[in-house]
Amino acid sequence: MRLTDFWARLEEAFGPGYAASIARDQVLSQLGGRTIEQALRSGEQTHVVWRAVVAAYPDRVPARLR
């Protein structure tokens, strides 16, 4: 998954403002206690990060985006 696709999915699922906040502030155990931004900066693959988002917010991410 391209990084632009990742951000588009995150924004579609959470809205632009809230997506940025989640990426910056929310620590996910599925990412080893890192935020989305930290995981991406450290080189984690986007599809791995996306799976962590889906696991952390199963009710928020529409099925078509999974």
Contact 52, 30 (CB under 8 A): yes
What is the pLDDT tens value at each position of the chain, 66 positions in all? 999 999 999 999 999 999 999 999 999 999 999 999 999 999 999 999 999 999 999 999 999 999
pTM to 2 decimal places: 0.92
pLDDT, residue 4, reads 97
- The span from the CA of 31 to the CA of 40, in Å, is 10
pLDDT at position 35 is 98
Please report, for residues 2, 24, 39, 63, the alpha-carbon distance to residue 27 in angstroms, rounded to integers and kept in the order given.
Answer: 22, 8, 10, 23
